[in-house]
Structures are given as C-alpha cells and as structure tokens.
Amino acid sequence: MTVSKDPKSQPQGVTAVNRFRKIAILIAAIVVVGVIGAISGKQYIKANTVDYYNVLMNGKPVGTVDKPETVEAMLLQKADQVKKDHPNINMVLDTGKVSYTADSGYKAEPETAATLTKLEGMLTAYATGVEVKVDGKVVGVVKDRETADRIMQRVKDKYTPDAAKAKEVTALAFNADAADNSATDTKPKLKQINIVEKVDTAAVKVDPSKVLDETALYKKLVVGSTSNTKYTVKDGDCVGCIADKFDIPKQIIYQNNPWINDDLIKVGDVLDLTVLKPEVTVRTVESVAEIVMTDPQVVIQASANMKKGESKVLQEGSGGMKKLTYRLTKDNGYLTSEELIGYEIMKKGTPKIVVKGTKVILGEGSGMFAWPVSGHSMTSSFGRRWGKMHEGIDLVGKSTIMAADDGVVEFAGVKNGYGNCVIINHKNGYKTLYGHMSSIAVTEGQVVEKGDKVGVMGNTGHSTGTHLHFEIEKNGVVQNPLKYL
C-alpha cells in the first residue's frame, strides 16, 4: 500500500500541532537567550561599579574620595606640618567636623585630589596660649601654663637673697667694728615673698605672631618701661621728702645722683629721678642679723680724795658681743623699711672699773648712756645706707626727748639738715646729738642730768617723718649708739 506524502492529503489537526510546537520552541529559545543576556549584563555592570565616599565638613558636601583613610592621612600630615612650622608654639588645626557617606556608581571616578585640595583650603590653624594679666592688664601671652608659672617663679627668684645678695644686705646694717662672725649665721633669711599686684592667667586662642618666648615676657615683667624724670629742688625739700613725693625709694635718688653728700641738697639743684617701672612689684620680707661688739660697761667708784675730772682705771674690763636682728622689707630689691626685732647677748663683757674724784665739776657724764626716748622703737640703724653713711639711729616712741647722760648743753638751735637740734657735751670725751625735734627745752650752757627733758620729738630739717635722730660721738668720731645703750 502506498502512502501519499502530500501535505494536503494530511489531516488538518496534525498540521496545527506541528505549527504550535515550532512556535513553542522558538519562544523557549528567545527566553533562554534573554535570561542569558540579562545575567551577563548584570555581571558586567557589577564588574564596572566603583565604590567611593562623599566627604562632608560640618554637614556640607566637599567632594568625593576613594576612601576615608586618604582624608585622614592628609589631616594628620597637615597637623604635623603646622606644628613643624611653629615648633615653640602650641598649634591646633581646626578641621571642623569631617564626616563620610559611602556611595557607588557605574564607572564612577572619585575626585580625590580635587576634594583633598578643597578640604585643605577650608582648614584653619590657630595657636593656643596662656594670657598673663597684671591688675587686669594683659602683659603678654606665652606657650602654656607651665611656661607662665616658670616665668613668675623667675621673677620672684630675681629678688630672693642668695650668697651675693647676702653680702650686700648685711652691709646695709653692719658695723665695721664687728668681730669675726664666721661662726654666727648672719645671712639674710627669706621670711615672705609675694607679688603685690594681682596676677591672673587664662588659656586663650591667639595669633601665633603674638606669642612671646619666656625671656621676652620675663623682661616685660621685671623691666617694664622707663620713667625719665628731672626735678629741681625747692625750698623745704629733702631727699626723703622728694622720694615720698614721687613714690620712689631713696636708694634711687642716691644711685642717680652720687654727688649728694650727707643728704645735703640745696634749692636749684637738679635731681635725676629716672626709674624703671616694672609691671610687677615683688615684695620680700627678710630677717638679717648683725653682730655688734660692745664696749665694757664702765663702773664708777667715787673718791672724795680726787678732784672731779680726775680718774684712775682699776680694771680695764672686756667688751661683749650682741646679736641684733632686723626685719627688712624690700620692693623689687629696694629697701623700704627696716625694723629691729631681736636683741640677744652673745657674750657678756666685764666692767671697766674707774675711780673718779667726787669734787663737783658740773656737767660730767658717767659714760653710761640711757635711751633718750621712752617706749622706743628703732626705725633706722647706724651704718651705710644706699651708699651713704647714717651716723646715728632713728627712734620713735614717746614724744619727750631726754638727755642720755649728764652733761652741758653745747648747742641748742637749728642745725643744717638736723632741724631743731641739741648737742650735749658730757665732759668725758663723749657728745650726744638729738635732731629733728619740734621744740627745744634747754639752752646753751645749761647743765643737764641723765633723763632731763631736752625737747619734743618732731619732723624738722631733712626728715621723712616724726622721729628722733640720735648720735653718740667719742673723741670726735661718731659711734654706733647701740654699743652703749
């Protein structure tokens, strides 16, 4: 049996099925190709996607970088460079608040170099320091608080007694007749030191060019400015009065005007009062000792067989030794006050016994002196002061001035520099002088006894305040009164 292959001879149902199969196969092929293409595309995009970071400063966009570490490295490098540029100053790099947000993009190109350049331009550097104020006035700014503290300590140390200054200070109140005191401690002892003005420090931001080094601020504090002043002496002026008027130490006047002798100045003299005006005043209180050899006490034995004025030594006696302690107050090294605060017998002497005739010769002293002021306090001692010789001691106390021993009034009146003055001749080689009194109670030639009133304490002559200037002279040579009182 022969089968015909003519399609027209096949049934219609078979033809439809075959057509459907072909279409299905075609669709399947298209889907497969599409899936394969989609997968390949995603892989390609993923392979070409670049991760990067947005950089923000204080919340505002700056640019993009490949990674945050690049920015952080730049910030560290910049901070190090700022410190290297200012090695002696505390520098701070103000970076603001730098933050990052992660991002990515197809074939993205982070602008790392441009972003770093832009960010660097937004950075600011400033110095931090410690501001030093004196009585509210800014004197300067230094690197840190440690530097400020070190400078203030240096300022104090400048006026702290050391071995060199000890010699100078002791010379202010030292008697050339003093014995060898190598075994006795007479070096100044610092009791108190402080800066008079109110000094404050505070941390501040500052321009680096305004930060001072340690030496510069130290000089500003201890040197300050210079006040050039000339003064013409007027009627009634004295060295102490002028010092008080210009609020400067007398020592400045003596240093600047070495021609002044014995405090004598006259109307028309021109004084140089130039003085440094430091920013701070360092006040020190020191204790300093002076060793004084004392003459032996003279014991008088009366003899009716000898005329008044005749004498004979039975025992020479020996001198003693006493230690006087003073409190010295100084401002920036200049002595402003001196006070006797201690008196100690180091070695007792033996008396010198003298037999004297009792035949009356009025006005002869015993050689044993009493304090000329009751309730006395010494304000200035005997010796060299500010390069000048102070030939007596200054006392304050009760107003009545008394004769220190028997004698005859040799002078009673106004004496140059001493104002109202009395000189008593004790007829035994000794004379005593009483100066600056407000009034005189004796007359020349008058015989006085120890304790008699000779005047009233005052402030006449070249005087810096109400007090008594008291001198003892032996055979024409001034003595330290403390050797006899």
pLDDT tens series, the chain, 485 aa:
333 445 455 555 556 667 777 777 777 667 665 655 555 556 766 667 889 999 999 999 999 999 999 999 999 999 888 888 888 788 888 888 999 999 988 888 899 999 999 998 899 888 889 999 999 999 999 999 999 999 999 999 998 876 334 434 333 333 434 434 444 567 888 999 999 999 999 999 888 888 999 999 999 998 877 778 899 999 888 888 888 888 888 888 888 898 888 778 889 999 988 878 889 999 999 999 999 998 888 888 888 888 666 789 999 999 899 999 999 999 888 888 889 999 899 999 899 998 988 766 577 888 899 999 999 899 889 987 666 788 999 999 999 999 999 999 999 999 988 999 999 999 999 999 999 999 999 999 999 999 999 999 999 988 878 999 999 999 999 999 999 98
Distance CA 89, CA 212 (A): 9
Beta bridge partners of residue 393, listed in sequence order: 470
Q: 112-122 and 68-85 helices cross at what angle (nearest 10)? A: 40
C-alpha atoms less than 13 angstroms from C-alpha of 192 in its C-beta half-sphere: 10
Distance CA 286, CA 284 (A): 6
C-alpha atoms less than 13 angstroms from C-alpha of 178 in its C-beta half-sphere: 22
Distance CA 269, CA 239 (A): 12
CB atoms within 10 A of CB 173: 25
Is the Cβ–Cβ distance between 347 and 184 less than 8 Å?
no
Contacts of 35 (CB under 8 A, 6+ apart): none
Is the Cβ–Cβ distance between 381 and 469 less than 8 Å?
no
Domain segments of the chain: what residues?
Answer: 50-122, 138-277, 363-485
Residues composing the chain: 485
Distance CA 35, CA 30 (A): 9
Task: Determine the residue type at 353.
Answer: I
Distance CA 325, CA 288 (A): 6
Q: Secondary structure of the chain in the HEC alphabet? A: CCCCCCHHHCCHHHHHHHHHHHHHHHHHHHHHHHHHHHHHHHHHHHHCEEEEEEEEECCEEEEEECCHHHHHHHHHHHHHHHHHHCCCCEEEEECCCEEEEEEEEECCCCCHHHHHHHHHHHCEEEEEEEEEEECCEEEEEECCHHHHHHHHHHHHHHCCCCHHHHHHHHHHCCCCCCCCCCCCCCCCEEEEEEECCCEEEEEEEECHHHECCHHHHHHHHHCEEEECCEEECCCCCCHHHHHHHHCCCHHHHHHHCCCCECCECCCCCEEECCEEECCCCEEEEEEEEEEEEECCCEEEEEECCCCCCCEEEEECCECEEEEEEEEEEEECCEEEEEEEEEEEEEECCECEEEEEECCCCCCCCCCCCCCCCCCCEEEECCEEECCEEECCEEEECCCEEECCCCEEEEEEEEECCCEEEEEEECCCCEEEEEEEECEECCCCCCEECCCCEEEECECCCCCCCCEEEEEEEECCEEECHHHCC
Architecture of domain 363-485: Distorted Sandwich (2.70)
Q: Which CATH class is domain 138-277?
A: alpha beta
Distance CA 108, CA 324 (A): 94
Is the Cβ–Cβ distance between 220 and 279 less than 8 Å?
yes
Is the Cβ–Cβ distance between 334 and 249 less than 8 Å?
yes
- CA 448 from chain centre, in angstroms, equals 53
Q: Using DSSP bridges, classify how beta strands 477-479 and 430-437 pair: parallel, antiparallel or unpaired.
A: unpaired
Angle at 33 (CA atoms; ends 29, 39), nearest 5 degrees: 145
Residue owning tokens 């007749």: 177
Q: Is the pTM of this model over 0.75?
A: no
pLDDT value of residue 15: 66
Beta bridge partners of residue 378, listed in sequence order: 395
pLDDT value of residue 31: 64
pLDDT value of residue 171: 35
CB atoms within 10 A of CB 82: 18
